[in-house]
Amino acid sequence: MPLVNLFGSKGRLVLSALLFCAVLFELADCQKDAQEQRTTPGRKPKLSKPKLGKSTNKGPRAVTAKPKIKAPSAQTFLTQVFNKGKFKTVGETLSVQTGHTLELRCRGKPVQWSVPKYLEEDHDGRLRTVQHERYGVLTLVNTTGADTGEYSCYPMYCEDTDCRKDYDKAVKVFVFFPGASCHIFSLYRSDPQELFVPSSDYYEVIQLRTNWPTLLPCQVTSPEAKVTLHREFPPAEVAVDGTEISFNVKRGFTIHRPRPYHAGALYCVASLGNLRQSSTKYMLIYVNYPMAPPAPVIQASSGSLTVGGDLRVSCSVVGEQDVLVEFNWEYPGQQIGRPLNTQDSITPVGGGAARQQSQSVLQVDEVRDVDQGTYTCTAHNLLGATSVSTTVKVVPKAKPKKP
């Protein structure tokens, strides 16, 4: 017989009350356990932290974003990479045999490369640069003597997306590309070995400027080549004393203080082993260059003239001997078509240094009212032009007094 039927309706009420009390006790025990877990000794309650960018007392606080600045690495250096994974730190110069691959590694992120102008204009896909995580790599394949020149690596200084070269930390190497030795050369190549960097010009015109160093860029492909300077007519070797004329294997010959006797046709001769070759011919033209633009002085024969009188306005420049100075005039009479009438002259000036005075005199005969105004002289030389002005007043003739 079921238990509910045994006790009747009263029994059902008692049973329900007991079940309800059991549930209450169970809930109380669960709440007590949770409280003990929150207050267990050795455990610190977690404290809430204020969020970044906010103040607990003053409310929200604006946070200004700063631009990301990335400075180049402290030290930048170049290394040459070989086929078998070997590395070698390069110095001021480097020699790579023609036909071999040049591979340079430059530490820095990012870096930018500079190569000889010939390669910048046309390299037929032989030149490649790649930027890696910590360094950049320059690779040049199928090399020739024409690739000889300076190769530079510039670490970049960046602010956000704006980057610029750090010239102070640049590293440079001059790379020569000599040909193979004579017997190897004849076996593997059909074209002759080039001792000079090839040029498409048979001759090159170079101006010799007074007191301006002049470079004859006869660049050799091998640092071991012996180079001399020669004059075509009369045939002779030009003395190179290191003072008046000097030679640099990475640049060529420099005439430090050009003089008229340096003018003419010159060329270089390179010798290496049994090879002897001539360079492009250089046609040197001597030009007397001034040290500065002209400083003219203008002076009128009179600041005030009577109608019918004669006016003379002189403009003179004192400068180096044999330096050409040209004069241009602006004057009031141009408005009515009065022709320009000038007399130019050059006279030596006494003193220790060789100097001369160049002068132009503007002549106006029988001046009229229209000749009154500003007279401007502009003197030109190879370094610039300078203008000076003066004002002339023309007054009418006095009327004769009546007897």
> What residue segments make up the domains of the chain, in order of their start?
77-176, 203-287, 296-395
Averaged pLDDT score across all residues of the chain: 80
Give me the percent of the chain exceeding a pLDDT of 90.
49
Q: Quick one: average pLDDT of 176-187?
A: 60
Q: At residue 7, does pLDDT exceed 50?
A: no
Report d(CA 110, CA 108) in Å as an integer: 6
Q: Quick one: average pLDDT of 79-86?
A: 79
Asked if the peptide bond before residue 403 counts as cis, ω within 30 degrees of 0, the response is: no
Q: Which CATH architecture has domain 296-395?
A: Sandwich (2.60)
**Burial profile 229-240: b = 16 or more Cβ within 10 angstroms, e = fewer:** bbeeeeeeebee
Q: At residue 48, does pLDDT exceed 60?
A: no
Helix (H) or strand (E) holding 215: strand 214-216
Comparison of pLDDT for 30 and 8, the residue scoring more: 8
Q: At residue 30, does pLDDT exceed 50?
A: no
Q: In what order do the strands lie in the sheet with 355-364?
A: 297-300, 311-320, 355-364, 342-349
Query: What CATH number has the domain spanning 203-287?
Result: 2.60.40.10
Q: For 49-70, what is each residue's pLDDT tens digit?
A: 444 444 444 444 444 444 444 5
Smallest CA-to-CA distance from 176 within 113, 220, 140 is with: 220
Fold classification of 77-176 is Immunoglobulin-like (2.60.40)
Q: What's the pLDDT band for 291 if we cut at 50, 70, 90? A: confident
**Residue 307 gets which letter from DSSP?**
T
Q: At residue 27, does pLDDT exceed 70?
A: no
Q: At residue 228, does pLDDT exceed 90?
A: yes
Q: Which pLDDT does position 191 carry in this prediction?
A: 44
284: Cβ–Cβ under 8 A, 6 or more apart, which residues?
206, 207, 208, 214, 262, 263, 264, 265, 266
Q: Which pLDDT does position 223 carry in this prediction?
A: 93
CA atoms within 13 A on the CB side of 2: 6
Q: What's the pLDDT band for 353 if we cut at 50, 70, 90? A: low
Q: Which pLDDT does position 349 carry in this prediction?
A: 87
Q: For 257-278, what is each residue's pLDDT tens digit?
A: 898 899 999 999 999 999 999 9
Q: For 131-170, what is each residue's pLDDT tens digit?
A: 888 889 999 999 999 999 999 998 887 777 777 777 788 8
Report d(CA 220, CA 146) in Å as an integer: 10
Report d(CA 19, CA 15) in Å as an integer: 6
Distances (CA, A) of 165 to 14, 315, 316, 355, 382: 94, 49, 48, 46, 35
Q: Do β-strands 78-81 and 54-55 pair in parallel, antiparallel, or remain unpaired?
A: unpaired
Q: Quick one: average pLDDT of 240-249?
A: 93
Q: Is the dihedral of CA 300, 301, 304, 306 positive or negative?
A: negative
Report d(CA 195, CA 220) in Å as an integer: 5
Report d(CA 100, CA 140) in Å as an integer: 9
Query: Which two tokens mark 218?
Result: 């006869």
CB 138 within 8 A of CB 78: no
Smallest CA-to-CA distance from 318 within 365, 366, 342, 350 is with: 350
End-to-end CA distance of the chain: 176
Q: Which residue has the tokens 């002289």?
A: 377
Q: Which pLDDT does position 29 carry in this prediction?
A: 52
Q: Do the domains 203-287 and 77-176 match in fold?
A: yes
Q: Which pLDDT does position 195 carry in this prediction?
A: 93
Q: Which pLDDT does position 85 carry in this prediction?
A: 73
Helix (H) or strand (E) holding 285: strand 281-287
